[in-house]
Structure 1
Amino acid sequence: MEQDKSERYVKIIIPLEQDEDGYPPAGSERLWALQLEEGRYKVDNIPFFARDLALGDIVSAIPEQGAEEGVLRYQQVLQPSGHSTFRILVQDEDQVPEVCRLLEPLGCGIERSHLPRLIAIDIPPSVSLEAVREALAPGHAQERWEHEESCLGQPATEQGG
């Protein structure tokens, strides 16, 4: 019998540093996480703004003072998942489906932001970062989108050098 997972999910607040232009557009990001044990949580959605975090990372967090029950403050990554996180900003919102068609067949996960032109991409360890970069290159060269590599995991298939 499957256990009700909703009781084990929490929101983790990730503080963000804004640059001189006010990016990212918030002082923090809230990510869903699955509680593994007290103080240890598995990130369960793709970060849109937090750097050096990826889907599946095991992180530590503590209760956020003054916040509602189940809201925690991020401390650190305890165990990287090996996943990578890219962000794509398309010039025209109508290009979002094209980006999805390019990356989903490679095995990437995609989440759309509340900002209509922003997409967060999860790249599992089994997916080649170079294949993702190559898929994005034509649109980038044509200035239809920009991408940021915010967290680079260690793919299981990566060769040492």
Structure 2
Amino acid sequence: MEDTHKKILFKYYSTYLEEIISETMWAEIIDLEKGYFKLDNIPFFGPLIATDDIFRAEYDETEKCFIHRETIESSGNSIVQILVLEDGFDAAIIKDKLKAINCVSESLNDTFLAVEITKQEDYSIVKMLLDEYESLSVIEFAEPCLSDKHRADLLKLN
């Protein structure tokens, strides 16, 4: 994987944790000389970036690794964060329901998930599922990186 991918450091302020966060994620090398990469991870807290977005990173001598500098091209994918509120609720239930509508998720722990919604998926369907669980006070969710395409999907709900 080291031949085709690099670990990239992302530093940003997390409003969720209310502190500066460092998160490393795998990215496919597009052009190492120019520092162009394609994100190959689902960000947990990340900046406004989603899987398959193209970005520029520079090697940082202090950190001894590549650091994200700017996003160049959006893939149209989105990232949603889910916090499980209800004690004892099995997050696998939501993960399975999301998987059934073609959304991959990764767990940080038992109560926090990051979800990838690819460009071709209709976000209004995902949002209805999340709204249902939020209305039951089982979860809270945030949409830190919602693509223009997925914003347009939401117009169908109104």
TM-score range for the pair, normalised by the shorter chain length: 0.7 to 0.9
- After TM superposition, the structure 1 stretch with the greater mean CA deviation from structure 2, 73-82 or 94-103, is 94-103
Q: How many pairs were matched up?
A: 150
One-letter amino acid of the counterpart of residue 39, structure 2: V
- Identity within the alignment, %: 24
One-letter amino acid of the counterpart of residue 8, structure 2: I
Cα distance 1:130–1:96, how it changes in 2: closer, same or farther (>3 A)? same
Q: Structure 1 residue runs of 4+, over 6 Å off?
A: none
Question: Are 2:129 and 1:135 equivalent residues in the alignment?
Answer: yes
For 2:36, the equivalent position in structure 1 comes to: 40
SS in 1 for 2:97: helix
Equivalent of residue 30 in structure 1, options 1, 24, 32: 24
Question: Are 2:112 and 1:118 equivalent residues in the alignment?
Answer: yes
Deviation at 1:95, TM superposition (A): 2.5
- Higher share of residues assigned strand: 2
| TM-score, with structure 1 as normaliser | 0.84
Checking the alignment, whether the CA contact within 8 Å between 1:89 and 1:117 is kept in structure 2 is: yes
Equivalent of residue 55 in structure 2, options 47, 59, 69: 59
One-letter amino acid of the counterpart of residue 103, structure 1: L
Q: Which stretches in structure 1 are left out of the alignment for 5+ residues? A: none
Question: Are 2:4 and 1:8 equivalent residues in the alignment?
Answer: yes
User: Pairwise CA RMSD of aligned residues?
Assistant: 2.1
For 1:97, the equivalent position in structure 2 comes to: 92
Q: Which stretches in structure 2 are left out of the alignment for 5+ residues? A: none
Aligned equivalents of 1:96 and 1:78: distance in 2?
Answer: 34
Checking the alignment, whether the CA contact within 8 Å between 1:93 and 1:116 is kept in structure 2 is: no
For 1:86, the equivalent position in structure 2 comes to: 80
